[in-house]
Structure 1
Amino acid sequence: MKTTLYFLSIVLISFAACFLPKEIIAERGDSVTVNVFNKYLWTWYGSQNRWGVFPSKDKRHERIFMNFKLTCPKGGCGEWDYTMRIYARTKTGRIDSSLVDAPSFTKAGAVSDSLRISLKPTFKTKFNASTKKTDTVANAPFQIYYYKNDQQPFNITDSTPAYEAAYWNYAYSSTGAKIDSSFVAGDSTLLKGTRKAYKPFEIINETEIGRFITPYGKWHNENWNYTWIYDVTDYAHILRDSTEIKVFYDGWSQGSLFDLDFTFIEGIPARETYEHKVFWSGNPTYGDPNNPIENFLKTQSIPRLHPQDQVTLRLMTTGHGFGGTDNAAEFSQKTHKILVNGEEMFEQYLWRGDCGQNPIYPQAGTWYYNRAGWCPGDIVQYWDYHLTRFLTSADSIRVGYQMEPYENMNLGQRASYIIEGQILYSKANYVNNASLEAIKMPNNAYRFRRMNPVCSGQKPVIIVKNQGIATLSALRIRYKIDNGEDKYFLWAGNIPFMEEAEIELPALGFPSGDHTFTVQVIEPNGKLDESVIGDTKTVSFTNPKQTTAGKIALFLKTDIVSGIPNGIRYEVQDSEGYVIKERGNFQDGASIRDTFDLEDGCYKFIIYDEALGDGLYPIFQGSTRGFYSLREVGGSTIIFNSQAANYGQPAAIYASFGDREIIPFIVNRKAASVNESTPITQTPEIRVMPNPTRAGISTLQVSGLPHDVPATLQILSSIGEVIYQEQVSTTDLDSIPLHLKGQSSGAYFIRIKYEEKTLHSKFMHSAD
């Protein structure tokens, strides 16, 4: 069973006694946050270790959250999608040894093959620019340690001070020129030797507690940041006292500033893990008949430790590499099997089919392509398989992980999986306990912006988790807007232990303006909730953009990718989800101008890309990008414009929306401040973005023009020469590309003629 790690938003709220029945009021446990990494800048492949001073092992915690934050440094975030893995390292007390070279000497603890030294003081010369003479500076001594005991080859037997040698000193003239030299030869040469010895070390267990793929961050500006939150409560038994945390970064260029915090909330956890074992951990090749992945995925014997154990197999698997057969393993859909005692008991469909709906968008790369178990700019989901029932009458079972048969016919393009397999032994502490994990709609949170804001009359959506050992089949839910009247909903369904489900509440009439929405889950299975920690959340929400015009104009320019149809279509839905307007099958590079005549109400404009799933912003060389906008006819309100800059990102890139985008809006003609028969006037405004142009490309946006009137667009040089002219409609000027490639840098002018009127605007062009 796949378990989704949702971005959790922790909200600590105190509620009045009138909202919570007296019999279930409980104090939220104290919480403490421990920082482990603080603004560490990843620049290259490798790992970093830090010690976290966590709460002591005698404290219990109902929830533990790992807060993973990236911030763009100066120059922007990292350009590529890199894998990051977070480990907890625990000492075992067990000693092992490995055969290594035993040193004959070290310099300040460092080993080298050979070293030339001087046992007498040495000095270095340098030119003194003030006195115009040669100065001498004594070298500081360093310590040489010797290892001469063959029975204890890593113990120091002697030491001596020494000085740097084997370098040149120079004499300088009064002008600083070198006029003489002398070589400081030293008097001794130390050699490492050839002894071999077994060096003991303590065995350290590494447990992967989270995995993350960085976003394509080139378009994210300095100081852009986002925090992803993992629930790591199952690792409470190793996140205690002083624990070493290791983070691995597989990037080959600069990444982002990295913060890592852990938030501990006191209480009794729903599933209390007391022991675990890691048995598959690594990056095996997939599809190589000379090195089959089965050599890595050995069948494991899983014992029963206690009769009441909850035993869970946890898998974190992501596919990597492409260009070989089936574009495996990154872009290849595979179904793997989990075997118990040699029989197939579970399937793992290793595929993320929702990358095109990532809330971290747009990104400067192929973020919208679905992948094997991961998406760029998102946490990696894990799969939990409950094995308890197989151990009720057995002391042990055999568990296997069987990959779908596959052979890579192009071994030069490696296909591989990053795999972490764990067994968790835990105790269930509650029978009836439900928690509210998130309110998805309505919610102003950045991570839920794909489905918000909501229209009045829509159904709120929440995520509920069953934290009781009894299957959750009924739940009473209380909710309200602001401090208004409590409403109740009795849900019925089926949620197994430690799994989650989305629940729709009855449709609500959301008022205009800014408001709060509060939800509380109570009475799981008609019983008293055994823990109220995490049962209640409050979020802020607002309404969609409002227009007082009944006519809405769509301006759409489809993209062009050679050999692939654009796949663009759109729908307009009313508040009940009925499609009242739809259109598709557009020609590549087509310019579409549609008008919707709408009654008062709330609507959704939904644009789909059913081909590449990249929206209107292909990144392939030779492709042509598109755009779209929604605005009032005869008014000034722009409902949405993909050419505009949003969330601190550059202009125009919001045409990269993935496989679909939803734009809600409200039509409220009754709120118009002028009579419909009175013309709405607005001073025309010309904008060129960016200004100066970049590489000869910019976008012209003109607002305040009458709708669909013939116009002449001209670009003039600084001396008034017309270098470009086009006959257009004023509706085209809502957003139209300007191309000045081949023109020299300098000042240029826009001139627009329509209805015996002329508009002018100056802009700068950069040929670089």
Structure 2
Amino acid sequence: MAGLEVVNHSHNTAVAQNTISSLNRLPGDNTTVNVFESSWIQFGGVNHRVIDIEVDFPEASKTYSSVVGHFSLKCPNQTKCDYWDRYGNFGFVMNKGTENEYFLEADRFITAYRVGFSWKTDFTALRPLFTGKQTMRVFIDTWVGEGHAQGDGWLFNASIEFVGGQPPQPEAKQVIPIWPHLSWKSGQPDKPVHQQVRPVNLEIPAGKKYILRSFISGHGWNNRQNCAEFCPKTHFYTVADNEYSREVWRTDCWETKTDGVQRGTWQYSRAGWCPGAQVHPWEMNVTNVLMGREVAKFSYRLEDFEWLKDGDVPFYYMSGLLIVY
């Protein structure tokens, strides 16, 4: 059976971990791996906005019918959550401690105003990553800490539930980073998108199915156009000359469920996110485009837009990877 492998082609570096060749694979036992337990994320005397931890996940020789992440954010000292909606993400630190270190984003979320919330994410397609010893990272862009007038930060919990059984077919066998997590400023002719999010020529391994999985969310709003947080824009991916487009805009923020009543403007629609909710990935089935190809070019662009150079600079956080089945 084909091995589980993570290959970072965009950095011309092969990661030789999480690989099996001809092993007989058997269903694993139901198990839950605790990753973060009430980890206090704050900014004070010490910068604890980023926390890394080493975790042992089940080996590749075991199969699972599903892999699900369970997450929650709680208030330190029971009631002292950060007052503001903060950007956050969860994922893998690849090649930790080397010159090729990078962050591979698995999940993205925005904190609620002053209250906690919980969510879960289906990671079954990312099983090649959730294998063996990994360094996991959580980041929240908070600027408060213990004793601050606007809250003490956040307590973050994350666990990964593995349900033993035969994997879904076709099975995800490889995860290839294309654009590891990055931010780029929009609406500036002197800084075109293609210079900030560079096209990538990717070697395409043989497979039965290919999914392009991307996170995009818009931020910055203190300008006349209210961009990029409060302005809907269409985003485009091109895969081997085939274009995929979507307006990145979320209109269901008023339905957000949290541990209590949020303050602030949480009900308003936003560019791909809501306060107190996970950010959903954009998944594109690119099987027909990539089947039989050895190499393909991946590129990204935003609809034509020029910032008026007033107030905050509009910007986007994005990442993208290819899942090979």
- Give the TM bin, normalised by the shorter chain: 0.7 to 0.9
Cα distance in 2 for residues equivalent to 1:226 and 1:30: 29
Match of 2:140 in 1: 249
**Contact 1:342–1:400 (8 Å) recurs in 2:** no
Residue matched to 1:587: none
Q: 1:54 to 1:408 in 2, by over 3 A?
A: same
- Is the contact made by 2:85 and 2:276 (CA closer than 8 Å) also made in structure 1? yes
- CA shift, 1:325, in A, is 4.5
Give the drift of 1:37: 1.3
Contact 1:325–1:410 (Cα < 8 Å) also in 2? no
Q: Name the aligned partner's letter for residue 143 of structure 2.
A: W
Per-residue deviation, residues 145-190 of structure 1 (Å, max 9, x unmatched)? xxxxxxxxxxxxxxxxxxxxxxxxxxxxxxxxxxxxxxxxxxxxxx
**2:299 aligns with one of 386, 400, 410:** 400
Shift of 1:269: 2.5
CA contact (8 A) 1:41 1:257 kept: yes
- Write out per-residue CA displacement over residues 452-509 of structure 1, whole angstroms, 9 at most, x where no aligned residue: xxxxxxxxxxxxxxxxxxxxxxxxxxxxxxxxxxxxxxxxxxxxxxxxxxxxxxxxxx
Gap change, CA 1:325 and 1:339, over 3 Å in 2: farther
Work out which of the residue numbers 58, 63, 68 in structure 1 matches 2:71: 68
Mapping of residues 312-461 of structure 1, within 5 Å: 312-344=211-243, 346-360=244-258, 362-410=261-309, 412-426=311-325
The corresponding residue for 1:58 is 61
Contact 2:201 2:296 in 1 (8 A): yes
Matches within 5 A, 1:96-115: none
**Which residue in 2 is equivalent to 1:236?**
127
Q: Distance in 2 between matches of 1:202 and 1:288?
A: 31
2:173 corresponds in structure 1 to 274
Which residue of the partner structure matches residue 207 of structure 1?
Answer: 104
Encode CA deviations 1:711-753: one digit per residue, 9 max, x unaligned. xxxxxxxxxxxxxxxxxxxxxxxxxxxxxxxxxxxxxxxxxxx
Contact 1:51 / 1:245 at 8 angstroms: preserved in 2?
yes
- 1:197-219 CA distance string (max 9 Å, x none): xxx936334310001100001xx
Aligned ranges 1:675-694 → 2 under 5 Å: none
Equivalent position amino acid for 2:205 in 1: L
Please name the residue that 1:743 is paired with.
none
Distance 1:393 1:36 in 2: 38
SS in structure 1 of the partner of residue 254 of structure 2: helix
1:359: how far off?
2.1
**CA-CA distance at 1:321 after TM superposition:** 0.2
- AA at the equivalent of 1:260: A
1:213-263 deviation line (CA, Å, top 9, x unaligned): 00001xx4xxxx543111112221121222110111111113221111111
Taking the TM superposition and a 5 Å limit, the aligned residue runs for 1:586-605 are none
Deviation of the 1:339 alpha carbon = 1.9
Which runs of structure 2 are paired with 1:132-147 in the superposition (5 Å)? Answer: none
| Root-mean-square deviation (Å) | 2.1
The answer to whether structure 1 residue 292 and structure 2 residue 192 are counterparts is yes
Deviation at 1:91, TM superposition (A): 3.3
Closer, same or farther in 2 for the Cα pair 1:209/1:68, shift >3 Å?
Answer: same
Within the candidate set 110, 113, 118, 1:227 is matched to 118
- Return the offset for 1:394: 3.3
In 2: Cα distance, 1:77 partner to 1:394 partner: 50
Does the aligned pair in 2 maintain the 1:89–1:207 contact within 8 Å?
A: yes
C-alpha change, 1:411 and 1:285, in structure 2 (3 Å) is farther
- 2-structure distance, mates of 1:416, 1:322: 9
Residue type of the alignment partner of 2:64: H
* 2:48 equivalent to 1:49: no
Residues 280-305 of structure 1: CA distance to partner in whole angstroms, max 9, x if unpaired? Answer: 23011011122222212222223331
Matched position secondary structure for 1:227? strand
Corresponding position of 1:83: 87
TM-score (norm 1): 0.36
Q: Distance in 1 between matches of 2:187 and 2:300?
A: 15
Instruction: Give the partner amino acid of 1:245.
Output: M
Partner of 2:21: none
Whole-Å separation in 1 of the counterparts to 2:213 and 2:273: 16
Q: Verify the 8 A CA contact 2:129 2:175 in the aligned structure 1.
A: no
Aligned-pair distance for 1:343? 4.5
Q: Aligned partners of 1:86, 1:243: CA distance in 2, in Å?
A: 13
Alignment of 1:181-200 (within 5 A): none
Aligned 1:488-503 pairs, distance under 5 A: none
Paired residue for 1:216, among 106, 113, 116? 113
Task: Look up the equivalent residue of 1:249 and give its one-letter code.
Answer: I
Q: Is the 8 A contact 1:89 1:206 kept in 2?
A: yes
SS of the residue 1:284 aligns to: strand
Q: Secondary structure at the match of 1:239?
A: coil
Asked whether the equivalents of residues 39 and 257 of structure 1 are also in contact (C-alpha less than 8 Å), the reply is yes
Report runs of 4+ in structure 1 exceeding 6 Å deviation: none
The answer (yes or no) to whether the contact 2:220–2:313 under 8 Å persists in 1 is yes
User: Is 1:36 matched with 2:35?
Assistant: yes
Shift of 1:77: 1.7
- Compare 326-335 and 74-83 and name the one that shifted more: 74-83
Per-residue deviation, residues 77-128 of structure 1 (Å, max 9, x unmatched): 2211001111112339xxxxxxxxxxxxxxxxxxxxxxxxxxxxxxxxxxxx
Q: Does 1:301 align with 2:201?
A: yes
Instruction: Report if aligned partners of 1:61, 1:264 keep a CA contact under 8 Å in 2.
Output: yes
**Shift in alpha-carbon separation, 1:394–1:343, aligned structure 2, 3 A:** same
For 1:257 and 1:68, the matched residues in 2 are separated by: 11
Larger radius of gyration: 1
Residue 283 in 1 paired to residue 286 in 2?
Answer: no
Between 81-90 and 328-337, the greater mean CA deviation after superposition:
81-90
Structure 2: gaps spanning 5 or more residues = 1-26, 145-151
Identity of aligned residues (%): 29
SS at match of 1:294: helix
- TM-superposed deviation, 1:406: 0.7
The structure showing larger relative contact order (alpha-carbon pairs under 8 Å, at least 6 residues apart) is: 2
C-alpha distance in structure 2 between counterparts of 1:205 and 1:282, whole Å: 10
CA gap of 1:329–1:294, structure 2 versus 1, over 3 A, is same
